[in-house]
Amino acid sequence: MVLTFPHMGQMYIPAKAFFEEMGIETIPPPPVTKRTLELGTKYSPEFVCLPFKINLGNYIESIEKGADTIVITGSCGPCRFGLYGIVQVEILRELGYDVDILVLDPPREDYSKLMENLKKIGEGKDFKTVSRAARKAAPIVISCDKLYELAVYKRARERIKGDTDKILNEFERTVYNTHGADKITELLKLYSRKLKEIPEKEEYTPIYIGLVGEIYTLIEPYVNLDIERKLGLLGVHVSRNMKVDWWVRTHLLPDIPLRIKEKIILHRGRQYLGMCIGGHARQTIAHSINYAKEGYDGIIQVMPFACMPEVVAQSILPSVSRDKDIPIMTFTVDEITGDAGYNTRLEAFVETIKQRKIKA
């Protein structure tokens, strides 16, 4: 069995560490490129959502490198994500690829099913091996998100534009060829130190923007046209409510304090959207309110074209913007979204916020 999984921002780093610790041959998906998108778009149903297309392109590229088994996480609720695996495996088989897709559903409160599925992936590996691999990979999820948070902080404040990205790009090139949880952990520490050393501007007036929206679009830079980096280079400190460690800790690990915090945030959005309608629409609304409460200067919702839950959230956000007195803008991305118009809208939004702050 040669495993692969979707490329989702930096998620491939802990996933790779986890499977390598289990002793399973793994081919991490190559970074998403134009070719990934073209392959996915060519073989996907036309109106399916963008993450489906990118994932499919990812799988084809990994299969070309030798992968024969795809691992994805599952989903529940009224959203297309729950059908991804079933439809994608049919498409791949029709294309002549002999592959399997294994779906890891979030365990809710029952971990036995998850362990059973992991053992299946590990081809009969015992509980000790699986749990040891999980214990070693779990901190990488957190350190990885911390490294990228540090990059967000530094990028907005760096004295020489581009310093942060130079280090981050070097990290990404190196980690791809670094194997095993221990070595990856060391690398994360090394690059965290390098980022901390970046000299900062002497004068910096922070602009804080919260990013909300569909999880895949928020996490995968290729899909969101590198919004975090672009805003950072405009001097914006960005915070994103959807992170890999948030997902792992709320869905896979019994992180009680985080779950309580998340429940409180969701409760705040209840009067606008009080139920799960699939995807993370409820989180989009609730975290927007939370960002307003925390004093953020603006919010950007990022969503793929035709994402059903986020379209509903988009229709509610103008009320949140009015009630909480915070500028909110929506970016919809699809396979033909171009950089030029997107950049202009980002710059205009940041400028509006700056003017608002001056007047305040």
d(CA 240, CA 149): 9
CB of 116 to ligand SF4, least distance (A): 25
Q: Which is nearer to ligand SF4, 185 or 217 (CB)?
A: 217
Q: What residue is closest to ligand SF4 based on CB?
A: 279
Q: Which is nearer to ligand SF4, 69 or 217 (CB)?
A: 217
Sheet of 298-304, strand order: 236-240, 207-213, 298-304, 328-333
Beta bridge mates, 330: 301
Q: Which is nearer to ligand SF4, 36 or 164 (CB)?
A: 36
Q: Which is nearer to ligand SF4, 26 or 44 (CB)?
A: 44
Residues 6+ apart with CB under 8 A from 42: none
CB of 82 to ligand SF4, least distance (A): 8
Concatenating the DSSP letter of every residue in 119-185 gives HHHTTT--HHHHHHHHHHHHHHHHHHHHHHHHHHHHHHHBSSTTHHHHHHHHHHHHHHT--SHHHHH
Structure tokens belonging to residue 121? 């992936």
- Strand, helix or coil at 321? helix
Q: Which is nearer to ligand SF4, 51 or 232 (CB)?
A: 51
CB of 88 to ligand SF4, least distance (A): 12
Q: Which is nearer to ligand SF4, 185 or 314 (CB)?
A: 314
Q: Which is nearer to ligand SF4, 28 or 304 (CB)?
A: 304
In this structure, what are the phi and psi dihedrals at residue 69, rounded to the nearest 5 degrees? -135, 135
| Strand boundaries in the chain, DSSP class E | 3-4, 69-73, 100-104, 207-213, 236-240, 298-304, 328-333
CB of 90 to ligand SF4, least distance (A): 17
CB of 280 to ligand SF4, least distance (A): 7
CB of 328 to ligand SF4, least distance (A): 19
Q: Which is nearer to ligand SF4, 88 or 185 (CB)?
A: 88
Residue pair 234/150 in contact (Cβ under 8 Å)? The answer is: no
d(CA 67, CA 317): 42
Structure tokens belonging to residue 94? 């029709």
CB of 345 to ligand SF4, least distance (A): 21
Q: Which residues would be at the binding site for ligand SF4 (CB under 6 A)? A: 49, 51, 79-81, 214, 278-279, 304, 307-310
CB of 348 to ligand SF4, least distance (A): 26
In the DSSP assignment, the letter for residue 253 is S
Structure tokens belonging to residue 290? 């939370």
